[in-house]
Amino acid sequence: MPSNSGAGGSLASVSAATLLCSLKIESVSEGASTNAPITVAGIKPKDILVGVFSMSDAGTDSVQPIGITNRTSVTTIAAKDKIVIRTDTTQEALLVIWWSFPLRT
């Protein structure tokens, strides 16, 4: 199980049902330039990023396959409702997945 030191430790004691109920997914229609804040409604600094994926050519009528890139390792939660990606994602749609704290009951 992942851990998040900012949230007070391991998630090992959290039930699978609680984890699923706490999983949040947000689609962002357009990324941003390197290190620019991107609005993700509901995300908080103590949450855990599960995945951040950018999709190039998303939403076009092209018959070309959509390119999907994992951006999780270069993404941080900067503030309430804001993430920052340390690479350029302009003209890419984003999919952000995270666990919302508090998880513990």
Decide if 41 contacts 94 (C-beta within 8 A): no
Domain presence at residue 9 = no
Domain presence at residue 13 = no
Q: Which two tokens stand for residue 91?
A: 């003209």
Domain presence at residue 61 = yes
Domain presence at residue 47 = yes
Domain presence at residue 66 = yes
Residue 60 confidence (pLDDT)? 57
pTM for the predicted model, two decimal places: 0.76
How far is 70 from 81, CA to CA, in rounded Å?
20
Instruction: Tell me the C-alpha to C-alpha distance, in Å, between residue 68 and each of 71, 88, 104.
Output: 9, 14, 33
Number of domains in the chain: 1
Residue 30 confidence (pLDDT)? 87
Domain presence at residue 17 = no
What is the extent of the structural domain holding 46?
24-99
* DSSP-derived pairing of the beta strands 67-70 and 48-56: antiparallel
How far is 84 from 77, CA to CA, in rounded Å?
6
Domain presence at residue 60 = yes
Question: Residue 78 — very low, low, confident or very high, per pLDDT cuts 50/70/90?
Answer: very high
How far is 80 from 46, CA to CA, in rounded Å?
9
